[in-house]
């Protein structure tokens, strides 16, 4: 507020104190826009979430906010609700707010990239967290979902399961598709491709419940199920219990994401941990380096998921 470098006039301590008192009394706040016009920086990062209702993103968002604070930057949050049109509108809105960079959690919607093309033209740094993007080159922090899908399925195979169903997303983005690819790859490796069974679900527990009900209607019920996320797995567990079957004795269940609640399912859920905190922190750090022009906009960081073994699959391999 009182900047002698700007005024080039020495300001006495008494005058400074009187100005501070008046500023506090009248609620004066420095103009971000005025400062931005001079410095070309606002110290604000726009964060666009693909679907803010998805609990997977809570930890990612928390870590982004915490890390931005360490860099003395603030967060401006929007949610696209999985709508490509809303995503485009919010990207345009964020750009108009003179933000220094954009983080897109869940990745840009694959159905369009016009707004991102415009951002690339204006050189606003953009980092996608969680989804590899095949449009305009932007920074990416992704999970190796194919590897995670393979590890989850292989874990079940090593437990002795041969008939393994996969509950996959009904309208998969790239990251979800690669979980399915990992499942298929593991089944093929162990010569179990004829045992493959894919049933699609939306992201909800209710979707998982309905999908598992269909699986259980088949004459050949699988001995294990790999769910593409932990929320879907919750519905799967309920459907299994309603059919008077036990987990893991009759059907083993494994999820993906390792949500904080997954350890408290009944039984506690075996799942793939995807390091949400690391994704958020890495995304901010990558964006900061791009904003400082230390690296180009096509940097790609990939995080390897790890299995967390709990009771829903049994403990022994």
Q: Are residues 95 and 181 in the same domain?
A: no
- Mean pLDDT over the full length of the chain: 84
Q: What pLDDT, on a 0 to 100 scale, did the predictor assign at position 62? A: 92
Residue 158 lies in a domain: yes
Q: Are residues 117 and 201 in the same domain?
A: no
Q: Are residues 88 and 187 in the same domain?
A: no
CB 91 within 8 A of CB 126: no
Domain count, the chain: 2
In this structure, what token pair is assigned to residue 209?
Answer: 């419940």
Q: Give the pLDDT band of residue 13 (cuts 50, 70, 90).
A: confident
Q: Are residues 93 and 38 in the same domain?
A: yes
Q: Are residues 96 and 204 in the same domain?
A: no
CATH label of the domain that carries residue 250: 3.40.50.2300
- Whether the per-residue pLDDT at 225 is higher than 60: the answer is yes
Q: Are residues 183 and 134 in the same domain?
A: no
Q: Are residues 248 and 208 in the same domain?
A: yes
Q: Which residues lie below 8 Å from residue 27, measured CB to CB, with a gap of 6+?
A: none
Q: Are residues 136 and 36 in the same domain?
A: yes
Q: Give the pLDDT band of residue 317 (cuts 50, 70, 90).
A: very low
Q: Give the pLDDT band of residue 137 (cuts 50, 70, 90).
A: confident
Q: Containing H/E element for 254?
A: strand 252-254
- Share above pLDDT 90 across residues of the chain, in percent, rounded to a whole number: 51
Query: Cα separations (Å) of 33 from 29, 39, 77, 99?
Result: 11, 10, 18, 10
* Whole-number Å distance between alpha carbons of 58 and 63: 9
Q: Are residues 129 and 167 in the same domain?
A: no
Residue 4 lies in a domain: no
Segment of 22-31, 39-48, 66-75 carrying the highest mean pLDDT: 66-75
Q: Containing H/E element for 136?
A: none
Residue 123 lies in a domain: yes
* Whole-number Å distance between alpha carbons of 154 and 63: 31
CB 5 within 8 A of CB 11: no
Residue 15 lies in a domain: no
Q: Are residues 281 and 138 in the same domain?
A: yes
Segment 162-191 mean pLDDT: 87
* Whole-number Å distance between alpha carbons of 98 and 43: 9
Phi, psi of 200 (to 5 degrees): -95, 150
- Share above pLDDT 70 across residues of the chain, in percent, rounded to a whole number: 76
Q: Are residues 256 and 155 in the same domain?
A: yes
Q: How many CA atoms lie within 13 A of 268 on its CB side?
A: 11
Residue 156 lies in a domain: yes
- Whether the per-residue pLDDT at 121 is higher than 70: the answer is no
Q: What pLDDT, on a 0 to 100 scale, did the predictor assign at position 288? A: 94
Helix (H, G, I), strand (E, B) or coil at 229: coil
Q: Give the pLDDT band of residue 166 (cuts 50, 70, 90).
A: very high
- Whether the per-residue pLDDT at 8 is higher than 90: the answer is no
Query: Which of 177, 69, 168 is closest to 132 using CA atoms?
Result: 177
Q: What pLDDT, on a 0 to 100 scale, did the predictor assign at position 246? A: 97
* Whole-number Å distance between alpha carbons of 52 and 90: 14
Residue 101 lies in a domain: yes
The whole model's pTM is what? 0.81
- Whether the per-residue pLDDT at 264 is higher than 80: the answer is yes
52-56, 131-135, 165-169, 288-292: segment of lowest average pLDDT: 131-135
Residue 259 lies in a domain: yes
In this structure, what token pair is assigned to residue 160?
Answer: 């002795």
Query: Which of 148, 149, 164, 220 is closest to 197 using CA atoms?
Result: 164
Helix (H, G, I), strand (E, B) or coil at 169: strand
Segment of 124-138, 162-176, 253-267, 283-297 carrying the highest mean pLDDT: 253-267
Q: Are residues 151 and 269 in the same domain?
A: yes
Residue 209 lies in a domain: yes
User: Other CB atoms closer than 10 Å to residue 275's CB: what's the count?
Assistant: 18
* Structural domain range at position 129: 29-144+277-305
71-80, 185-194, 196-205: segment of lowest average pLDDT: 71-80
Segment 23-40 mean pLDDT: 55
39-48, 51-60, 244-253, 259-268: segment of lowest average pLDDT: 39-48
């Amino acid at each position: 507020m009182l900047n002698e470098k700007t005024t080039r006039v020495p300001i006495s301590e008494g005058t400074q104190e009187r100005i501070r008192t008046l500023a506090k009394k009248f609620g004066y706040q420095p103009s971000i826009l005025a400062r931005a016009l001079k410095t070309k920086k606002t110290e604000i990062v726009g964060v666009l979430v693909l679907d803010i209702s998805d609990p997977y993103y809570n930890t990612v968002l928390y870590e982004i906010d915490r890390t931005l604070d360490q860099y003395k930057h603030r967060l401006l949050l929007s949610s696209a609700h999985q709508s490509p049109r809303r995503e485009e509108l919010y990207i345009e809105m964020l750009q108009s707010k003179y933000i220094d960079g954009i983080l897109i959690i869940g990745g840009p919607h694959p159905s369009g990239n016009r707004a991102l093309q415009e951002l690339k033209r204006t050189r606003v740094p953009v980092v996608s967290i969680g989804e590899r993007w095949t449009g305009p080159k932007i920074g990416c922090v992704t999970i190796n979902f194919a590897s995670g899908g393979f590890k989850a399925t292989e874990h079940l195979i090593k437990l002795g399961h041969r008939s393994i169903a996969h509950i996959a997303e009904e309208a998969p983005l790239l990251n979800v598709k690669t979980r399915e690819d990992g499942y298929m790859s593991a089944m093929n490796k162990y010569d179990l491709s004829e045992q493959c069974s894919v049933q699609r679900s939306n992201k909800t527990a209710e979707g998982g419940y309905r999908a598992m009900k269909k699986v259980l209607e088949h004459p050949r019920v699988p001995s294990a199920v790999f769910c593409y996320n932990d929320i879907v797995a919750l519905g799967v567990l309920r459907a299994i219990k309603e059919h008077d079957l036990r987990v893991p004795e009759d059907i083993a269940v494994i999820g993906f994401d390792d949500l904080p609640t997954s350890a408290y399912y009944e039984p506690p859920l075996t799942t793939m941990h995807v390091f949400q905190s690391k994704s958020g922190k890495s995304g901010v750090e990558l964006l900061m380096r791009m904003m400082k022009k230390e690296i180009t906009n096509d940097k790609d960081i990939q995080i390897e998921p790890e299995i967390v073994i709990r009771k829903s699959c049994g403990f022994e391999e």
